[in-house]
Amino acid sequence: MIMNDVVSKTAQSIDFNDIVGLNSAKALLNETVVWPLILPQLFTGIREPWRGVLLFGPPGTGKTLLAKAVAGQNGSTFFNCSTATLVSKFRGESEKIVRCLFFLAKHHSPSVVFLDEVDALVGTRGAEGEHEASRRFKTELFVQIDGIVTGGSKEEPCLVTVLAASNNPWDLDEAMRRRLEKRIFVGLPDETVRKQMFTKHVESMGMAGGEGVDDRLMDILADRTEGYSGADVELVCREAKMKCMRRLLEKVDVEELVDATEMESGGGEASVTDED
Ligand code: ATP
């Protein structure tokens, strides 16, 4: 059953401490999603919580990670959904999946329904040639999201939050954007955060020669990776590990780590040379 793929109690596996930087995004998520799920009695009446939150920003900056950590922060059930899990080629099936998803989210509340790459799932409405099935799917999704809000009351507060992520928020259906009232920008890491990311990776992989984390080396790496995302930084470290493995080194060598920063920023692909 498809729901096995989307439901997870990720609570124990990841929380905000596992994410480097993004402090303002974490603070906003605490306010908009974590606290309303932990202390629902505070978020009623005029303090009604946001019905939907949109995380937007460049690829690889930690949007999915943040969403998973939100569930980890408050022990809620996490429903990880994408186009692949919600859209079916069979007539009427996608609407049924959406209904079932929200039924389960309410049943297993507090819960977070995460819609990854929401612009692919709910693109611009009314676009020419839009399929009837896609319109029915969107309508059902909107009905279900609205149902969460109207379902909340003082005695039985709303314990389901819709969290969505997008690299292209401008491609998002207008009606969906309206439902994702709170928007949180997740940007590229600055030099200080990149340094913290490299330090974390180096600490976990260890350096050749038993050296600890060299602060000056971390500065150099952060300086050389302007415009890199968290995912790019991770890729640099993996690339260095692979190069060391080819040289049969057990731990990472400084030279390989610096060399691995020679990749296209933002592209997410390590540069390949003939020597490689
Ligand atoms: P996309 O928009 O392409 O789906 P995303 O913004 O959702 O990307 P994630 O999938 O959350 O990005 O992050 C990709 C990987 O990059 C993570 O698995 C993690 O290893 C690393 N990463 C990105 N940002 C951070 C961060 N701030 N702290 C720690 N790791 C990070």
pTM: 0.82
Q: Which atom of ligand 1 is nearest to the CA of 186?
A: 6
Q: Is 161 helix (H, G, I), strand (E, B) or coil?
A: strand
Which tokens go with 190?
Answer: 């600055």
**Mean pLDDT for the chain overall:** 77
Atom 27 of ligand 1, nearest CA residue: 20
pLDDT in tens, 235-271: 888 887 877 777 766 677 777 777 777 765 444 444 3
Q: How far is the CA of 90 from the centre of ligand 1 (A)?
A: 33
For residues 137, 50, 81, 93, the Cα torsion angle rounded to the nearest 10 degrees is: -20
pLDDT in tens, 164-210: 999 988 888 888 888 888 899 999 999 999 999 988 888 877 666 66
Exposure letters 117-130 (e unless 16+ CB within 10 A, then b): bbbbbbbebeeeee
Q: Worst-scoring range by mean pLDDT, 44-48, 143-147, 154-158, 192-196? A: 154-158
